[in-house]
Chains A and B, each alone.
Chain A
């Protein structure tokens, strides 16, 4: 089976990609769409560095074929925040030293974003459990957890202020 056209929506934009059915989403994103934020760490769905958001789910994009996500809405780290305005999570990771080499960070933040959508006021334990699909070799997680809790607090305060 040769290459096929697949329509996917990535960070709010409709994209037509030409790919073999066996092409993994992480490769489509990184190599065809030049979205190199999501990274490849383990390739067996253990590390979470390739995490993206697909239709409101956190998904390891190294373990999904692009063919499977045709027609779906995909958000990568590049779709959170913008160069002019960082997402609260991005700011808090910086403020609380929630990253070192930065390789796991896009997956971490993308996952944390979904976690806070589903549970806006998590406990530390819930953050640790909810982030357990993402490995980090540098930080020991302590400051990642702190960053996410701080982001949750700030997002909640902003929500309250708006109401």
Chain B
């Protein structure tokens, strides 16, 4: 497995990176951790003439937590995320989810930006970001813009990002309440058979807000507003949770693959969503 030849660029800042993107258009791709892209290049399923390595761009690095406001630079690795005490404190769901991504070596290299940007439905961060209501910040020759994670994904590998744009950072307001990221996979290193991010806020035994999103159960991550609504105002009792599960599974459209056929995935999804909500409620 040997990749085809390409030209390698390592710009020092964003304008330099954008200039290369502008110059080469479709022939250029940015690379962050490379652990999705390089295997595709080795299998010659991705043909790239110009590879733009973002590692030297300091604006893309770093995590800042200011009160409940969290900013994660696109080049932050899963490993960085797992080891950031502030993130673990204000957004423990992120810590919990990051630990379930790939394996230790891949987490040292795999970046949050790469995970959310490329539109691979198997990636875990997109669903999580939708659950958190995060905002993605993009920059291109036309300037900067912000896109809600819930509006970013269009289809598998198709996103709102234009070819000449770079995802620079992710921001979100740390949620309150209980949380869970529940994932079923065949083994460590695998993508999810089904995964669900749930955040549930309870006040005096009544759910005041709930956010449910799912991974690898459609060709994009799925945020189910209806699932959250099914919980709000209830005690998150069995009936409410089943209503939320029904709403969430109504929003997904899993495809058959080596993990199993659709009926299996629907059933497992329901189980995983239920467990995610129950665990989030238990922590609320």
| Residues in A lying within 8 Å of B, measured CB to CB | 1, 4, 20-22, 24, 43-46, 48, 51, 57-60, 63-65, 67-68, 111, 115, 129-133
Q: Does B103 contact A (CB under 8 A)?
A: yes
Which chain B residues lie closer than 8 Å to A51 at the CB level? 105
Cβ contact within 8 Å between B3 and A22:
yes
Cβ contact within 8 Å between A133 and B189:
yes
Cβ contact within 8 Å between B8 and A59:
no
CB distance from B48 to the nearest CB of A (A): 10
Complex alpha-carbon distance, A60 and B33, angstroms: 11
- 8 further A-B contacts with Cβ under 8 Å, apart from A22-B3, A58-B104, A67-B10, are A21-B8, A22-B6, A22-B41, A45-B39, A48-B105, A57-B79, A131-B104, A133-B102
Which chain A residues lie closer than 8 Å to B79 at the CB level? 57
Q: Does B34 contact A (CB under 8 A)?
A: yes
Closest to B56 in A: A71
CB distance from B180 to the nearest CB of A (A): 19
Closest to A133 in B: B103
| Those 10 A-B pairs whose CB atoms lie nearest each other, nearest first | A133-B103, A21-B8, A57-B108, A132-B188, A133-B105, A1-B7, A43-B1, A67-B8, A133-B104, A63-B38
Q: Does B47 contact A (CB under 8 A)?
A: no
Which chain A residues lie closer than 8 Å to B43 at the CB level? 44
Which chain A residues lie closer than 8 Å to B1 at the CB level? 43-44
Complex alpha-carbon distance, A111 and B103, angstroms: 12
Which chain A residues lie closer than 8 Å to B189 at the CB level? 46, 132-133
Partner of B38, one of A1, A20, A58, A64: A64
Q: How many chain-B residues does the 8 Å CB contact rule pick out?
A: 30
Q: Digit string of B79-96 for contact with A (CB within 8 Å is 1, else 0)?
A: 100000000000000000
Partner of A132, one of B4, B55, B104: B104
Q: Does B51 contact A (CB under 8 A)?
A: yes
CB distance from B185 to the nearest CB of A (A): 12
The interface centre, meaning the residue of A1, A45, A64 with most chain B CB atoms within 10 A of its CB, is A45
Which chain B residues lie closer than 8 Å to A21 at the CB level? 5-8, 51
CB contact list, B155-199 vs A, under 8 A: 188-189
Q: Check A65/B105 contact, CB under 8 A, given A43-B42, A46-B189.
A: no
CB distance from B61 to the nearest CB of A (A): 14
Which chain B residues lie closer than 8 Å to A63 at the CB level? 34-35, 38-39, 42, 109
CB distance from A110 to the nearest CB of B (A): 10
Complex alpha-carbon distance, A63 and B102, angstroms: 14
CB distance from A136 to the nearest CB of B (A): 14
Closest to B38 in A: A63
Cβ contact within 8 Å between A45 and B8:
no
CB distance from B113 to the nearest CB of A (A): 16
Which chain B residues lie closer than 8 Å to A64 at the CB level? 34, 38, 109
Partner of B8, one of A43, A65, A130, A133: A65
Q: Does B53 contact A (CB under 8 A)?
A: yes
Cβ contact within 8 Å between A59 and B4:
no
Cβ contact within 8 Å between B106 and A60:
yes
Cβ contact within 8 Å between B104 and A68:
no
Cβ contact within 8 Å between A1 and B55:
no
Cβ contact within 8 Å between A57 and B5:
no
Partner of A22, one of B4, B31, B104: B4
Which chain B residues lie closer than 8 Å to A67 at the CB level? 8, 10, 53
The interface centre, meaning the residue of B3, B79, B104, B105 with most chain A CB atoms within 10 A of its CB, is B105
Cβ contact within 8 Å between B105 and A68:
no
Cβ contact within 8 Å between A1 and B103:
no
Cβ contact within 8 Å between A58 and B108:
yes
Cβ contact within 8 Å between B51 and A45:
no
Cβ contact within 8 Å between A68 and B5:
no
CB distance from B122 to the nearest CB of A (A): 14
Complex alpha-carbon distance, A20 and B5, angstroms: 8
Q: Check A57/B109 contact, CB under 8 A, given A44-B39, A132-B104.
A: yes
